[in-house]
Amino acid sequence: MSNSKYRPGQQKYTAVHKKLAKRNVQVGSLTCPVCEWCAESTEHVFTGCSLAVEVWAAVGQWCRLSPVLAFGVKELLEIFKEAAGSKWGKNIIHGIIMVSCWCIWLARNEKIFQDKVISGRVVMANIKRLSVFWLNHRSKYKELSWDSWIKYPLYVM
Ligand SMILES: [Zn+2]
């Protein structure tokens, strides 16, 4: 492979595919189904892909965080540490980050299995809807205002 064609994550992904192919498991394309530009890897799907970049910019703006520039999933899961407010403020941001990863993953799967293109805007709407559902059912915050939530999720702090 020439250096000019190397893309991050490609080698690891190819190794996994080679092992699966040896066992006669259909592996499909190596290219990311969402952006169709880069080799797909965990890091790419959640941080480098155009959809992920758009979603993290919107999540950062919504949660009033400094710009989200993560190069790995571990970094993403540590963003909550900079969140404003109490322990609950950090918990809410942590939950939103996890819900965001889940929604990015679902959008990727919809593209693969149903050939549906899910925009960053739709992913953000899903993140807001699912995260408020999670918070209503898993915290002391039971009566959240939807109008306030979609403007700023830490309005309750
Ligand atoms: Zn991609």
Q: How far is the CA of 29 from the centre of ligand 1 (A)?
A: 12
Q: List phi, psi (to 5°) of 3.
A: -60, -35
User: Residue 18 — very low, low, confident or very high, per pLDDT cuts 50/70/90?
Assistant: low
- Give pLDDT, residue 2: 40
Tell me, yes or no, whether 31 lies in a domain.
no
How far is C-alpha 148 from the geometric centre of its chain's CA atoms?
23
pTM summary value: 0.80
Compute the distance from residue 108 Cα to the ligand 1 centre, in Å.
9
Residue 1: inside a domain, yes or no?
no
Cβ atoms of residues 109 and 102 within 8 Å: no
Q: pLDDT for 26-85, tens place per residue?
A: 666 788 999 998 888 999 999 999 999 999 999 999 999 877 777 788 888 888 787 777
Domain that includes residue 47, residue range: 42-151
Domain presence at residue 96: yes
Of 101, 108, 106, which Cα lies nearest the Cα of 36? Answer: 108
Centroid of ligand 1 to alpha carbon of 107 (angstroms): 11
- What is the count of structural domains for the chain? 1
CA 60-36-34 angle, 5° bins: 45
d(CA 32, CA 72): 17
Output the CA 33–ligand 1 centroid distance in Å: 6
DSSP sequence for 37-106: SSB--HHIIIIISHHHHHHHHHHHHHTTPSP---SSHHHHTTGGGG-SSSHHHHHHHHHHHHHHHHHHHH
For residues 109-131, give the mean pLDDT: 96
Measured in angstroms, how far is the CA atom of residue 68 from the centroid of ligand 1? 17
From ligand 1's centre to the CA of 67, what distance in Å? 20
pLDDT at 48: 92
Distance 61 CA to ligand 1 centre (A): 22
**Mean pLDDT of all residues belonging to the chain:** 84
Ion ligand 1 residue ranges (Cβ < 5 Å): 32, 34-35, 49
